[in-house]
Structure 1
Amino acid sequence: MEEDFEFGFTEDPKFSVERYEEMIRNHDQYFFDAQAFENIIDYYIEKNDPAKALQVTEYARNQHPFAAIFLIKQAQLLVVSNKPNEAFAALDKAAMLEASDADIYIIRGNLYESMERNTEALENYEKALELAEETDEILLHIAYVYQNMGDYDTAITYLKLCLKQNMENQDALYELAFCYDVLDNQQESVQFYMQYIDNEPYSYAAWYNLGNAYTKLSLFEKAIDAYDYAILIKDNFASAYFNKGNALVNLEKYAEAIEVYRQTFEYEQPNADTYCAIGECYEKLEQMDDARSFYKKSVKMDPKLADAWFGIGVTLDFEERYFEALHFYKKALDLDIANADFWFAIADAEYKLGHITEAEHAYEKVVELNPLDVDAWLDYSSILYEQQNLSGAIEVIASAIKNNPEAAELYYRMVAYLFAKGEYSEALNQLEIALTTDPEKHYILFDYLPQLQENKVIIDIINRYTR
């Protein structure tokens, strides 16, 4: 006859696990009380072994058929094992045994949330709110569902409720920043974090998010102060150092930025983005060897980082090594084919190498991708003008004006081209528009066609607008 042993929760959890494993090895049947089974299940969950943990729930359910906890644990494990239908079935059984357990509705809500069945997810979370003692995580999940539905205002309401209950819920702080971002409402974001900090001055996450909100408002000095507080509270906060570095770059304080970026290496492994950011600072300081060395470290770590390949090209371009630069620009372009800046650099390098057709093609891509890039339109038209293709140059500038009706430099350039083509009356019309748009920029005309300084008609028109 098989002998039953009983093991209770007074035992050390480790002892319960050992006895359980012995039972499995011996194909035996020992009895464990509910707490001992919970300990064994938790042990396997911590060991990241859901299959074994699930096996324990089966034994536990056989020995304790009326304990809802084992059905709930089973449901959690089935969710992890990607068996939603079985998880739903376990939760239904658990609800029959103990309908007032909040975990049933939380797990069911999670399942519906992952299936994007938002209404059912919300119904379950609302039910869990009525039953649970601690509700900040439930409020956070409700906010997630509203985000999935695209209702960011309601999501913000729930995130604030969540933080009211638990000021230290980092996820809620970050999600709130995300929602304000989507709504492009940085002012309200700043207001919220300032209020939050009044109550909780040592929340590094709140200071960090305040810094991010200031950054988005281009208030870089204030952003740096906020990041400094975050770092003061949590001195190994690598992201705060990195974002502080970015803020310094925006203030053109490149040498300081390099120091701050380097500090991140004390607290986390160097990564490609940081190497690339340091490379860019050296590039701005025109220390091209240092810049290139950091860009190379960056692509070694992440060969898919287009900006770093591009950076190597920029350093070579600066040294007038256009042919080599082109090679790296094209590598960057392969990774990000729709990047107008990459096309612009390629156009410029091709032009400097005397590859006029290739340059024209690249400029065409730049203005197609970014029709608001006035410089690209000017350069593109300039190449055509140099090739004596006056009609082409005029056509390009006409398109440029259509896309940028406020840009005076385009009208002045048009005047120069029309004069060169001998279309004087249309040139004078365009000159009037240029002077109306911005009389101060009339020097552009003489930069292009110095001989017009001798033209009395033009000088008289200009004097009418500039006196």
Structure 2
Amino acid sequence: MQLSHNEENSFSLTRFESMLKTNDVLFFDSNEFENIIHYYLENGKIALAKKAIKLGLSQHPSSINLRLLKVEILVFEDKLEMAEGLLDEIFDLEASNEEIYIQKANILSKKDQHAEAIRMLDLALEITMDEADVYSLLGMEYLFLEDFENAKQNFMKCLEADEEDYSALYNIMYCFDFLEQKHGAIEYLNSFLDRNPYSEVGWHQLGKQYFDLKDFKKALSAFDFAIISDDYFIGAYLEKGKVLEKLGRFNEAIENYEITLDLDDPTSFAYLRIGKCYEKLGAEELALKNYRQTVHEDPLLDKGWIAITDFFYKKGNFKKALYYINKAINIDGENVLYWKRYARINNKLQLLEEAERGYRRSLELGNYELETWVKRCDILIDLGEFDAAVQNLLQAIEFYPETPEIEYRLAGLYFMLHEAEKGYYHLNQGLKLDHEHSIIIEELFPSIFARKSVKDKIRTHQKSCS
């Protein structure tokens, strides 16, 4: 009985691994070694691939393909000089082998010499029987050079040579998106779908383009065609659910998200979207149930914890909101979105020191929004920490110069600290920028606003502006 190709490969692998266990030396032809090595490389078993190459070359020292596989491993391990030396030896024996140029290109690419890598790949293109692979490599080199137009053209040629190479299609869409050529992307996808009308990936990508353009009707139609092409395509159901949400068809959106839960292992994203839909439908218990399921599936998904926290915050249940945001912070203490909510909730609960800590931590994590500086300042004022409030605003003004919200606060704070000269300076700065914001003085520093000199200065400026 003759073995199939897959059975032969499986038999060779079994024999090879048995040999490694027993230390017996068995003979394999060079093709068997190549198949064994490719299997190990594709499955990330580099150590076993290296053993197979070593044994293969000991039995077939003149095999060009085994030597090229050794080069591939050397390049992978960044042993570029050794790889180049071996490639030069192979080139002297077989200059017309395309793999030599491809591996030379890989080495040049690793050295950030992408223009030279492209030159090598162009040489490979002249002799290759597998144009799709070389065009794909050319596309990647142009991406490294941020030449998105040439990258796009090469990925298109790759897809022309192999219309099932969906990684090329994804890369083409990436280039279109980067070049902000939405309508060009749609035109290209329609052309591709004319040739491949049952390409679920093509329809899926077309739907995403229409979704970005807010053409939800066409997006919905495209995702429907993706599902017709492959009714197990989870991505299409998820995207269709997002479109239905935008159209306010929340029950239908839930149905599509729930299909994905049946098709494969449940995803936190699907539970989150189902929860959002139920919340919009007013089904609060079902919403909360799905939010909790979201964080159960993926405790590191910040959107899940934020959804639960915001759910209770909107209901005015600040203690429960604080409970959940604390749980989130215990899991990921570097998430600025958590700390901003922590600050806001503690502020609602009048836990001012904790609220100040939340805003301070947000700033430490790089959240330099004006609102964060201002809210922290106002809490420090309430705590009577005027010096700290001034230092906070002096940092803020570096990011937001000539900002009335900062100038008026600095004015009030300097007056409170009995530094009248600085107080008047910042009051004048604030009045020059926007006299209507002078209400900040009245609201935050009523005792300062009550001073005749301050009132007179504000009134005089207001009159001159009217």
Superposed pair shares fold, TM > 0.5: yes
Distance 1:311 1:417 in 2: 33
2:340 counterpart of 1:313: no
User: 2:222 corresponds to which residue?
Assistant: 226
Distance 1:336 1:211 in 2: 37
Map of 1:277-296 to 2, 5 A cutoff? 277-296=273-292
Note if contact 1:37-1:56 (Cα within 8 Å) is conserved in structure 2: no
Note if contact 1:306-1:336 (Cα within 8 Å) is conserved in structure 2: no
2:188 counterpart of 1:189: no
User: 2:404 corresponds to which residue?
Assistant: 398
Against the structure 1 CA distance between its residues 302 and 82, is the aligned structure 2 distance closer, same or farther, given a 3 Å change threshold? farther
Distance 2:136 2:235 in 1: 23
Against the structure 1 CA distance between its residues 278 and 108, is the aligned structure 2 distance closer, same or farther, given a 3 Å change threshold? farther
Shift of 1:346: 3.8
Shift of 1:83: 4.4
User: 2:107 corresponds to which residue?
Assistant: 111
Shift of 1:372: 7.9
- Matched position secondary structure for 1:303: coil
Distance 1:76 1:170 in 2: 24
Shift of 1:237: 1.2
Instruction: Write the deviation string for residues 374-399 of structure 1: whole angstroms up to 9, x where unpaired.
Output: xx999999999999xxxx9xx99933
Shift of 1:181: 2.5
User: 1:154 corresponds to which residue?
Assistant: 150
Shift of 1:269: 1.2
RMSD: 4.4
Q: Which moved more, 1:343-352 or 1:123-132?
A: 343-352
Against the structure 1 CA distance between its residues 266 and 91, is the aligned structure 2 distance closer, same or farther, given a 3 Å change threshold? farther
Gaps of 5+ in 2: 384-388, 397-402, 409-433, 444-448
User: 1:40 corresponds to which residue?
Assistant: 33
- Matched position secondary structure for 2:237: helix
Instruction: Write the deviation string for residues 187-207 of structure 1: whole angstroms up to 9, x where unpaired.
Output: 322222122223322222121
Distance 2:216 2:291 in 1: 25
Distance 1:58 1:138 in 2: 27
Shift of 1:144: 1.0
- Matched position secondary structure for 1:269: coil
Shift of 1:248: 2.6
User: 2:253 corresponds to which residue?
Assistant: 257
2:250 counterpart of 1:237: no
User: 1:172 corresponds to which residue?
Assistant: 168
**Aligned with residue 351 of structure 2, among 344, 349, 355:** 355
Shift of 1:273: 2.6
Note if contact 1:350-1:358 (Cα within 8 Å) is conserved in structure 2: yes
User: 2:426 corresponds to which residue?
Assistant: none
User: 1:441 corresponds to which residue?
Assistant: none
Shift of 1:417: 6.3
Shift of 1:104: 1.7
User: 1:213 corresponds to which residue?
Assistant: 209
Report how many aligned residue pairs link the two structures.
Answer: 404
**Aligned with residue 272 of structure 2, among 270, 276, 282:** 276
Which TM-score applies when normalising by structure 1? 0.70
Note if contact 1:415-1:427 (Cα within 8 Å) is conserved in structure 2: no
Distance 2:346 2:16 in 1: 73
Instruction: Write the deviation string for residues 136-164 of structure 1: whole angstroms up to 9, x where unpaired.
Output: 12111111111122222221121222223
Gaps of 5+ in 1: 1-8, 403-410, 434-460, 462-467
Note if contact 1:50-1:80 (Cα within 8 Å) is conserved in structure 2: no
Against the structure 1 CA distance between its residues 74 and 38, is the aligned structure 2 distance closer, same or farther, given a 3 Å change threshold? farther
Distance 1:429 1:53 in 2: 86
Note if contact 2:87-2:100 (Cα within 8 Å) is conserved in structure 1: yes
Shift of 1:333: 5.4
Shift of 1:263: 1.3
Q: Which moved more, 1:417-426 or 1:122-131?
A: 417-426
User: 2:424 corresponds to which residue?
Assistant: none
